[in-house]
Amino acid sequence: MHRLLTLLALLTVLLLAGCASDRRNQALTTTLNAYASTVRWGDFQTALQFVDPKVREEHPPTPLEMSRYTQFRVSGYDDGQGPAASGENEVRQVAQIGLVNINTQAERTVIDRQTWRYDPEKNHWWLTSGLPKIDTE
């Protein structure tokens, strides 16, 4: 009887862990899709809301930095092979973002190396690497 109770307890723990993992994976998929869509539309003000609040507080973008994003139109967003786990509650993803300078019509691609952290209490993924780094060259 003791073995049966132990086995049932173990199965319950595994089932709950699986549910938590499914919730975390679903939250990641939803977040990455929403972020990609936001960037594709060139809405970097909204994309800033995906950045971890602690990162935004410690390194807030200046108005000049945010205005640079308005100089570009996003022509493409390719997240390649998607996210790869880099820790228990962290994933990394590399995205190529096509940008067209609205003043010169010059197109170029930037590589955005993203790091995402999972907050298990809020079932929420946060971008800790900040917005894509672009230059006005």
Helix (H, G, I), strand (E, B) or coil at 74: strand
Any domain includes 82: yes
Residue 96 lies in a domain: yes
Cβ–Cβ under 8 Å, residues 45 and 66: yes
Cβ neighbours of residue 66 closer than 8 Å, sequence gap 6 or more: 44, 45, 48
Return the percentage of the chain with pLDDT > 90, whole number.
Answer: 78
Q: Does any domain span residue 118?
A: yes
Residue 106's pLDDT is 96
Helix (H, G, I), strand (E, B) or coil at 41: coil
- pTM of the predicted model, to two decimals? 0.81
Work out whether strand 124-127 and strand 107-119 pair parallel, antiparallel, or are unpaired. antiparallel
136 in a structural domain? no
Task: Give residue for tokens 């096509």.
Answer: 98
Is the per-residue pLDDT at 113 higher than 50?
yes
Number of domains in the chain: 1
Domain that residue 111 falls in: 2-127
On whether residue 89 sits in a domain, the answer given is: yes
What are 37's two structure tokens?
């869509």
Note whether residue 99 is domain-resident. Answer: yes
Note the pLDDT tens digit of each residue in 29-81: 999 999 999 999 999 999 999 999 999 999 999 999 999 999 999 999 999 88
CATH number, domain containing residue 29:
3.10.450.100
